[in-house]
Copies of this chain bind each other. A is one copy, B any other.
Amino acid sequence: MDQALHFVTVATRDLDAARRFYGALGWQAKLDVPGEIVFYRSAAGQLLGFFDAGAFARDQGEASPPHVAGVTLSHNVGSRAEVVALVERMAAAGGEVRKAPQEGEFGGVFHAHVADPNGLVWEVAHNPAWSVLPDGSVMLG
């Protein structure tokens, strides 16, 4: 199995709230099917999809629309000041700050947690030990 993640699909109770939130952050939808799903590019060869929670449940054979839980998505920025600025922007766009910008438990990381309007938690982080090489390899430490 190739190590490739082509779609990340999140059960979403309020698609319009998701559209407003990510739109306010400057995101451009790749494909938007009203009432059903909206996709955004999240990496090369990858889309992040917000899928109507009722349709998600039917597709999974679940009885009721799930709440997203047990997963976080991380977005890294270049400085602590950028963490603070992005968290403010996400809060202004309707995000809920669950952890204010602060030192993380792991060496040198400065981060915050912000939930989107449907409860999907983003970590916004500055990690001086993290970098991406031109071939897409991630360096940590």
Chain A contact residues, CB within 8 Å of chain B? 1-11, 25-28, 30-31, 39-48, 53, 56, 59-61, 66-76, 86, 89-90, 98-99, 105, 113, 121, 123, 130, 132, 135-138, 140-141
Contacts and interface: CB of A to CB of B under 8 A. Distances in A.
B98 A10 contact: no
Q: Which 3 A-B pairs have the closest CB atoms?
A: A44-B136, A68-B70, A7-B74
From A3, A86, A136, residue with most partner B Cβ within 10 Å? A3
Given A41-B137, A45-B136, A89-B1, A7 B60 contact: no
A136 B105 CA distance: 34
Contacts of A86: 1
Contacts of A66: 69-70
Contacts of A27: 1, 3
A75 B59 CA distance: 16
Given A5-B48, A31-B140, A53-B70, 19 more contacts: A1-B25, A1-B26, A1-B86, A1-B90, A3-B41, A5-B73, A6-B75, A6-B130, A7-B73, A10-B70, A30-B138, A44-B136, A47-B140, A56-B72, A60-B113, A66-B69, A67-B70, A68-B69, A68-B70
Contacts of A89: 1
Contacts of A135: 44
Contact of A3 (B8, B28, B132, B140): B28
